[in-house]
């Protein structure tokens, strides 16, 4: 394995993991731009999309033009996770007005969905790691189908219990990129198809919420990394099977550093992660 291959594999794995979360984003075909409910990669490299086409005019033919077979489409998904900071970052109710549990905007699209709740998240809560962009040709598309919303008691939420229309499409990607702070990474389709899904990264948001419950863990990790914690607010902002990321910033907002703490071994499950975290804080 050469150096370039070694560098590309984690990026391809990260992209496949983001897609495996069912993370929400947008899809653009021509001048039309619609919400994307999920995008997952098959082992042959084809991307399966679930597109929200609800509320569009059938008379104008817009529904048929969104992610229709033969169309050129671009998908954009922000790799965003919620660290749990929003629970205490601002006064807010513990429930939504419609009775559903309140959730961070970064979690709308699943375990790692993008977006923000209006007035809810802040920069200490929603952490964007990068942006996945998929461009290609739609090779197959299903008819638009009504999406039924069901409440916890089994009943519908509206007069007809309908929540818009969804369309299932297949995208043959011609270009796959992952934009990060250090530049744009091009991911070959074959590399994406061959990449594994990170078993820890796919549940990263759940892990971050869990680790945030231990209020002293981030400080112990910062000390282990040789950092001074006086006057700082250490926070765990990322975890995958290779290690954890700490964001260490001054309480006055003067500086903010990102510190990577690699694990001694690649983790395969939660037991491995807990063992590695324990080793890092000894």
pLDDT digits (tens, 9 = 90+) for 150-187: 444 444 445 444 456 888 889 999 999 999 888 999 99
Residue 206 lies in a domain: no
Residue 94 lies in a domain: yes
**Residue 39: is its pLDDT beyond 50?**
yes
- 24 and 64 housed in the same domain: yes
Q: Which residues pair with 232 in a beta bridge?
A: 250
Q: What is the pLDDT of residues 241-271, one digit of tens each?
A: 999 998 887 776 666 788 899 999 999 999 9
Contacts of 5 (CB under 8 A, 6+ apart): none
- 10 and 98 housed in the same domain: yes
Residue 265 lies in a domain: yes
Residue 35 lies in a domain: yes
Name the pLDDT band for 101 (thresholds 50, 70, 90): very low
Give the whole-number percent of the chain exceeding pLDDT 90. Answer: 33
Residue 203 lies in a domain: no
Cβ atoms 194, 12 nearer than 8 A: yes
Looking at 133, 164, 197, the residue that finishes a domain is 197
Q: What is the DSSP string of 184-250?
A: EEE--HHHHHHPPP-TTGGGHHHHHHHHHTSTTHHHHHHHHTT---TTB--EEEEEETTEEEEEEEB
- 27 and 156 housed in the same domain: yes
Residue 83 lies in a domain: yes
- 121 and 188 housed in the same domain: yes
- 190 and 53 housed in the same domain: yes
Residue 202 lies in a domain: no
Number of domains in the chain: 2
- 134 and 168 housed in the same domain: yes
Range of the domain at 121: 3-197
Looking at 152, 169, 197, the residue that finishes a domain is 197
- 40 and 78 housed in the same domain: yes
Q: What is the DSSP string of 12-58?
A: HHHHHHHHHTT--EEEEETTEEEEEEEEEE-TTSPEEEEEE-TT--T
**DSSP H or E run through 273:** helix 270-280
pTM for this entry? 0.74
Q: What is the CATH number of the domain that holds 259?
A: 3.20.180.10
């Amino acid at each position: 394995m050469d150096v370039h291959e070694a560098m590309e594999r984690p990026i391809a794995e990260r992209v496949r993991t983001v897609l495996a979360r069912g993370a929400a984003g947008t899809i653009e075909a021509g001048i039309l731009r619609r919400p994307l409910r999920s995008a997952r990669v098959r082992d042959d490299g084809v991307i399966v999309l679930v597109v929200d086409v609800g509320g569009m005019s059938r008379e104008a033919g817009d529904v048929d033009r969104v992610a229709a077979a033969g169309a050129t489409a671009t998908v954009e998904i922000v790799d965003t996770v919620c660290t749990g900071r929003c629970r205490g970052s601002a006064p807010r109710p513990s429930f939504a007005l419609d009775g559903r549990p309140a959730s961070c905007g970064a979690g709308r699209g699943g375990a790692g969905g993008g977006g923000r709740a209006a007035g809810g998240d802040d920069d200490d809560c929603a952490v964007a790691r990068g942006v996945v962009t998929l461009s290609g040709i739609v090779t197959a598309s299903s008819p638009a189908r009504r999406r039924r919303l069901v409440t916890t008691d089994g009943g519908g939420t509206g007069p007809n219990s309908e929540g818009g229309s969804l369309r299932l499409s297949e995208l043959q990607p011609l270009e796959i990129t992952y934009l990060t702070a250090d530049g744009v990474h091009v991911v070959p389709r074959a590399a994406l198809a061959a990449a594994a899904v990170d078993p820890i990264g796919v549940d990263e948001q759940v892990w971050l919420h869990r680790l945030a419950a231990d209020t002293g863990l981030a400080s112990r990790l910062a000390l282990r990394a040789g950092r001074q914690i006086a006057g700082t607010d250490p926070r765990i902002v990322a975890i995958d099977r290779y290690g954890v990321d700490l964001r260490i910033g001054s309480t006055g907002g003067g500086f903010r550093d990102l510190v990577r703490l690699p694990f001694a071994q690649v983790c395969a499950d939660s037991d491995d992660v807990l063992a590695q975290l324990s080793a890092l804080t000894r």
